[in-house]
Chain A
Amino acid sequence: MAVLTVNDLCKTFGAGTARSNRVLDHISFDVRGQTFVSVVGPSGCGKSTLLNIISGVETHTSGDVSVTSDEGRPARLGYVFQDPRLLPWRTVRKNMLYVQDKDDDQARRRVSTYLDMVGLGQHGDFFPGQLSGGMQQRVGIARAFAVEPDLLIMDEPFSHLDAITARGLRAQLQDIWAQSRKTVVFVTHDVVEAVELSDRIIVLQPGGRIFEDIPIDLPRPRRQSDPAVATLQAEVLARLEKMKAITPQAATAV
């Protein structure tokens, strides 16, 4: 069953004014439960806008977006942002409890479980300022998983980290995802990252249309050293090159 349905979605900033800017143009796609979908595309093609509309932070001009939960209750969403966005005056554990709906034993157990999964089981009582940037980002990831979201939204969660830290976190994200199987929409600039993590890659083109919807059928866990991964990465990159050739505005980005 589809957890996320986006149907004929359009978004125009400043509609009806001189600075009217169409960012998303008749976008339709479904995301089935327990799949990991990446959205890639050049800077400014509307990826963050799409996520903001899905999460309800941004309004849309026309079309429908719906997130369904399995038990008929309101859908729960989880977020991982580009930066950790932790409350500096709360410990790691309190930060994670802050976004839980109830502060009960179950919530505490979830928090501990996911802290362990990101390798910070010993750091629950630390303040964010006592952790490195990579560790803080891991707390951000654990926090989002620990709300047991129906849909988990991630907007370039590794783009502020150095390459080595980012690689470690990607491997960790794969492991956590393999265990929890949350439905994820993951935005990134990085095709290599998208191929490593996703079941499916949606390529947005400038002007906000879907250029391509590429299934990634590779066994997990995937490692950079695996030739099959590298081959597919090269192929997806080649297709993006093709998009740049067709849509000249994209040539400056990706």
Chain B
Amino acid sequence: MARPVIEAPPTTPAGTWLEGEELARRAAARTRRKRLALLVAGWAAMLGIWQVAAYYLPFGTLPNPLEVSVEMWEIVASGALVSDFLASVLKTFAGFGVAVLIGAPVGYLMGRYGYWRAFFLDGVTVAGTIPALTYAVLSLIIFGLSNLGPVLAVALVSTPYVALNVAEGIRGVDQNLVKMSQAFGRSPQQIRREVFIPTIVPYLFAAVRMSFAVAWKVEALTEVFGGTNGVGFQIRTRYQLFDITGVIAWMALFIVFMLLIERLLLRKLEQRVLAWRPEERAAR
């Protein structure tokens, strides 16, 4: 028996579409919950191992997580965190500033002119492969007990990254935009400002983010040996007092805050500056 098509039960497309939406939302929520559960499990395992180790190791060698958290809270509450942490962050960013001031022009020359590329390439590559520790030691030798040591160490570590990335960025400049600018009679300075620099800014951010991961560790390390303030300095002070809890508390706080800076501050700044990029808009 042929059923007339007209009597088919009306299924509203909107209904099925909404159902689909709902299903997708639930699946996404499930994935999120699973990921959160794993994250919590990971942290619990880590703290558990720490707790057990603290318990079995000879008394006083390793403080347990609770003692460290209390100490961390005291550091935060006393206000020491803000001043010393700020000192470390400022030194790190001062180092970046120096790295950009030196690395960006070098990278610009390398990207633009074959001769300069030949001149700088080996030096920059070698500088990029030298272990960060070497730079820390070098900075200590040069500046001794001073706040300039950490700045120099960060600058030395980051400059090759900046130079290589900027060189890469310059070579990615869209020649059609350069020709367009020339056709409309724009000056070389205008072309540099409006075409070349905007092209390399994303590469500059990539360089800073890549070198940040190494830079803040080198900064702290240099402070430990030669700083007069900052997180590394605090770690050394606590160490000299045999205050292991204090050492670990400062270390933990430093890690947490540097990760926050890396994940939140740098990322947000990048999103702001690169707001014109479709992928940045999609991410917001």
Contacts of A101 in B (CB 8 A): 185
Query: Quick one: closest A residue to B274, CB to CB?
Result: A89
Is B5 engaged at the interface, CB distance under 8 Å to the other chain? no
24 pairs across A/B with beta carbons < 8 Å? A57-B182, A57-B183, A77-B183, A77-B184, A77-B185, A78-B184, A79-B184, A83-B176, A85-B179, A87-B177, A87-B194, A87-B195, A88-B276, A88-B277, A90-B276, A98-B181, A98-B186, A99-B181, A99-B185, A101-B185, A127-B275, A129-B277, A130-B281, A147-B184
Known contacts A81-B176, A98-B194; decide if A89 and B183 are in contact (CB<8 Å).
no
CB within 8 Å of B: which of A61-95? 76-79, 81, 83, 85, 87-90
Interface centre among B182, B183, B275 (most CB of A within 10 A): B183
Known contacts A57-B182, A57-B183; decide if A85 and B278 are in contact (CB<8 Å).
no
Residue interface bits B189-217, CB-to-A below 8 A is 1, else 0: 01000110010000000000000000000
From residue A45, how far is it (CB to closest CB) to chain B in Å? 22
Q: Tell me the A residues contacting B by CB distance below 8 Å.
A: 55, 57, 76-79, 81, 83, 85, 87-90, 98-99, 101, 127, 129-130, 147
Q: Which listed residue (A85, A90, A99, A130) contacts B186, Cβ 8 A?
A: A99
Contacts of A98 in B (CB 8 A): 181, 184, 186, 190, 194
Q: How far is the CA of A2 from the CA of B2 in the complex (A)?
A: 79
Q: How many A-B residue pairs have CB under 8 A?
A: 48
Tell whether, in the assembled complex, residue B176 and residue A89 are in contact, meaning their CB atoms are under 8 Å apart.
no
Tell whether, in the assembled complex, residue A79 and residue B183 are in contact, meaning their CB atoms are under 8 Å apart.
yes
Tell whether, in the assembled complex, residue A81 and residue B198 are in contact, meaning their CB atoms are under 8 Å apart.
no
Sample of 17 further A-B pairs with CB below 8 A, known A55-B183, A81-B176: A57-B179, A77-B183, A77-B185, A79-B180, A79-B183, A81-B180, A85-B176, A85-B180, A87-B198, A89-B198, A98-B184, A98-B194, A99-B184, A99-B185, A99-B186, A129-B278, A130-B278
